[in-house]
Amino acid sequence: MVSLEDIRAAAGRIAGAVERTPFVPSRTLSELTGARVFLKFENLQFTASFKERGALNKLLSLTPEERRRGVIAMSAGNHAQAVAYHSARLGIPATIVMPRGSPNTKVKNTRVHGARVLLEGDSLHEAGAHARELAARERLVFVHPYEDPLIIAGQGTVGLEMLEDVPDLEALVVPVGGGGLLSGMAIAASALRKGIEIYGAESATYPSMHQRLAGKPVEVGGDTIAEGIAVKDVGDIAFGIIGNLAREVFVVQEETIEGAIVALIEVEKTVAEGAGAAALAALLENPARFAGKRVGVPISGGNIDSRVLASVLMRGLVRDARLVRLRVTMPDVSGSLAKTAALIAEAGGNIVEVQHQRIFGTASVKSPEVEFLVETRDREHTEALVALLRAHGINVSGA
């Protein structure tokens, strides 16, 4: 239902209103994964995601009478912002139905563009049902986030740009929710580069496309940092395309997605949401599959709550043993605390926080437990610090 010509037409239609984002190699991530990694920075779009491409392509197809009636969309956030922003630009009234519990930053940024925002349902599926009822009642044009050839063609312009910039790409790894981005990119890439390998990436809590491609019942649910791809009902159009053109849809763990977010910030100095980092996470979990290959990876979005991002970064420090909690049992005599702190400083550790525990969890009232939160360079540095403490007779645990 969607061809390379449709994608090229979409590219011409949206040119000037949507950014042609950078597509550049990452030397450090290439060393980390063993592949030759090229990143497409779709998080640099005005609304910080690729969703603008498909949304605008769809809105530009509406008749004058449809524009007057207005549009409605259901979304966990990025499609909502894209529809709201471009509808406002084009003077089209927009209603957005978002699931309760959508990230605050996405709800706020959708309202900023002047759309009517309704929080309905506990999932995208329930929000979609409410949106369809409202569309029928108010005669609004339903702008689906992925089950629409015009949306897929618009998203396919990401792949078109990637292959135009780096024609000799050997593989693409793309995040999958409903499948609009992967299916559109697969059409463009496979038409432009014979033999290119195309892969998807889903969160382990919402492996809907992976399960459906395997012919299994779709069983999903649970918390995920990649709420942008937490989709139960994948698109039938996308399913057909992906089934024909993609080699595999990887299922990636939450911990790896968090690690990919941290890597993108620390290495590329760029912010990715969970869904936006899922493709890099798949690369990190499957290095042997891509060793030595030129791999294109879209950073599909950067809309992440500041609080969540802060937690991810701190958890990353803990995971890498760069922020450690040391429990020290020491005699309750003058100078004990100072001695331990001095040894930590001597080892190059930075004490972030100290908690003195005299009541709970201590073996003796004469041996209080002191908990140090310490910043170190890496795991080896942490191990050396602990070894130094023990060498001086200090009872330490928890590293």
Whichever domain contains 284, its CATH number is 3.40.50.1100
Same domain, 192 and 340: no
Same domain, 304 and 249: yes
Same domain, 162 and 280: yes
The separation between CA 203 and the C-alpha centre of its own chain, rounded to angstroms, equals 10
Residue 358 has pLDDT above 80, yes or no: no
CA 394 to CA 386: how far, in whole Å? 9
Same domain, 44 and 58: no
293 a catalytic residue: no
Structural domain count, the chain: 3
Same domain, 220 and 167: yes
Secondary-structure breakdown of the chain: helix, strand, coil percentages, each rounded to the nearest 5: 50, 20, 35
Same domain, 182 and 311: yes
CA 230 to CA 76: how far, in whole Å? 9
Same domain, 26 and 56: no
- Compute the half-sphere exposure of residue 263: CA atoms within 13 Å on the CB side of its CA: 25
CA 174 to CA 183: how far, in whole Å? 10
Q: Could you tell me which of 59, 228, 73, 54 has the C-alpha nearest to residue 152?
A: 54
Catalytic site residue from 51, 87, 106, 190? 51
Q: Summarize pLDDT for 83-139 with one digit per residue, the tens.
A: 999 999 999 999 999 988 887 878 888 899 999 999 999 887 888 899 999 999 999
232 a catalytic residue: no
Same domain, 44 and 55: no
CA 168 to CA 5: how far, in whole Å? 21
pLDDT value at residue 105: 77
CA 179 to CA 182: how far, in whole Å? 5
Same domain, 92 and 209: no
pLDDT value at residue 277: 98
Q: Summarize pLDDT for 272-315 with one digit per residue, the tens.
A: 999 999 999 999 999 999 999 999 999 999 999 899 999 999 99
Whichever domain contains 367, its CATH number is 3.30.70.260
Of the candidates 74, 107, 142, which is a domain's last residue? 142
DSSP state of 227: G
CA 169 to CA 37: how far, in whole Å? 10
Sign of the alpha-carbon dihedral angle for 266, 267, 272, 274: negative
Same domain, 184 and 246: yes
Range of the domain at 82: 51-142
Same domain, 79 and 228: no
Of the candidates 316, 343, 364, which is a domain's last residue? 316
Of the candidates 96, 124, 142, which is a domain's last residue? 142
